[in-house]
Amino acid sequence: MPGSGAVWRRFPARTGFAHRAPSRYDWEETTGGACLAQASTLVLYRCAAERGAPLFAQQLINGLVTGSTYALIALGYTMVYGVLQLINFAHGEIYMVGAFTGLLLVTVAKLPFPLALLLAMGGTAVLGVTIEFIAYRPLRRSSRLSVLISAIGMSIFVQNVALWIWGPSTRSFLPPFPVTTFTIAGLRTNTLDLLTLLVAVLMMVGLHLLVTRTKLGKAMRAVAQDRETAALMGINVNRTIAFTFAIGSSLAAAAGVMVGMLFNAVTPSMGVMPGLKGFVAAVLGGIGHIPGAMVGGLVLGMAEVLGVALLSSQWRDAVAFAILILVLLYRPSGLLGRRTQEKV
């Protein structure tokens, strides 16, 4: 591994075993992919040495749970991008509305949790389709810039309407079921974490089956490949696009409800950061590529945990964007995506 020597030379200087000013060569060896490998080696070593291995593994579990919610959000971005080549900026807001709907159904309507989750997903599916109908469908033939600006406008609109209706304060979202903490192989986890993972895995498996095994899935893939030819083959393109929005939005709602409970907090601005990170995850995995979004979400969740361990928690959000810019620089097609040439 090129550059790994630098880790070992730099390591003592940072932990104070030997007081040596870091030489400038330490940084010069750090380029591109080697940088990530180097950083992760460093983190692994620091955590193992200073805080004990379990703590690091513990962090990885947190990364896995957060990452699976990013993956759920990323799927919505990637599916919409696949069929429309559009960044649905309002996706983070759909996630936020999903969290609010779930919270209100559980606390105000006193519905049992699984039903509340399903209804929240259904409600946001309607919202997603409505957004598509109002803000994107009239612009199907417009320039990309117009659609992007419209998407941004929709995102701002939904977020501020939510702020208007629900107020800026953070609402508590206690899980409506007992949460027990237990230890597996020396690692503490709880039923909420496991439920989040379970929900995410179920959704992803369901989505995979939907896309690969059903007629609707086939139509979605056809529209993604070539909208006009799909229309010529008798596929109702508008309906397929609407379904894509519905499915993507309901996945985001599931993520919103789970995250609302994980952090015990629901606010109108909660969609902004996860929305952006979901997009980063989608780009990381290869935008338009469904398994890529799943992998991208998990990798991003882990990378954030590594970033927090290496720097500090204030830099958590910056890590995601640094990853985005690195991906765009070195592998714009993402981890799993294929390089494509723009067609004229």
Residues that bind another protein (CB under 8 A): 85-87, 134-135, 138-139, 141-150, 152-161, 164, 228, 272, 276, 279-280, 283, 314-315, 317-318, 320-322, 324-325, 328-329, 332, 342, 344
Report residue 190: phi and psi, to 5°. Answer: -140, 170
Shortest distance in whole angstroms from residue 142 CB to another protein? 6
Q: Beta-carbon neighbour count of residue 142 at 10 Å?
A: 12
Shortest distance in whole angstroms from residue 27 CB to another protein? 17
Which of 64, 125, 92 has the alpha carbon at shortest distance from 256?
A: 92
Nearer Cβ to another protein (27/182): 27
Nearer Cβ to another protein (148/335): 148
Nearer Cβ to another protein (203/280): 280
- Burial (CB < 10 A; 0-12, 13-18, 19+), residue 57, is middle
Question: 299 and 60 in contact (C-beta within 8 Å)?
Answer: no
Residue 17 is inside which H or E element, if any?
Answer: none
CA dist list (Å): 36 to 11, 306, 307, 321: 15, 10, 10, 14
Nearer Cβ to another protein (67/307): 307
Shortest distance in whole angstroms from residue 165 CB to another protein? 11
Shortest distance in whole angstroms from residue 217 CB to another protein? 25
Q: Which residue has the tokens 């330490």?
A: 26
Shortest distance in whole angstroms from residue 181 CB to another protein? 32
Shortest distance in whole angstroms from residue 145 CB to another protein? 5
Q: Beta-carbon neighbour count of residue 52 at 10 Å?
A: 11
Nearer Cβ to another protein (4/160): 160
Q: Which residues contact 258 (CB under 8 A, 6 or more apart)?
A: 69, 195, 196, 199, 200
CA dist list (Å): 289 to 80, 181, 238, 324: 11, 36, 21, 16
Nearer Cβ to another protein (98/275): 275
Nearer Cβ to another protein (121/327): 327
Shortest distance in whole angstroms from residue 82 CB to another protein? 14
Residue ranges of alpha helices (H) inside 49-90 are 53-84
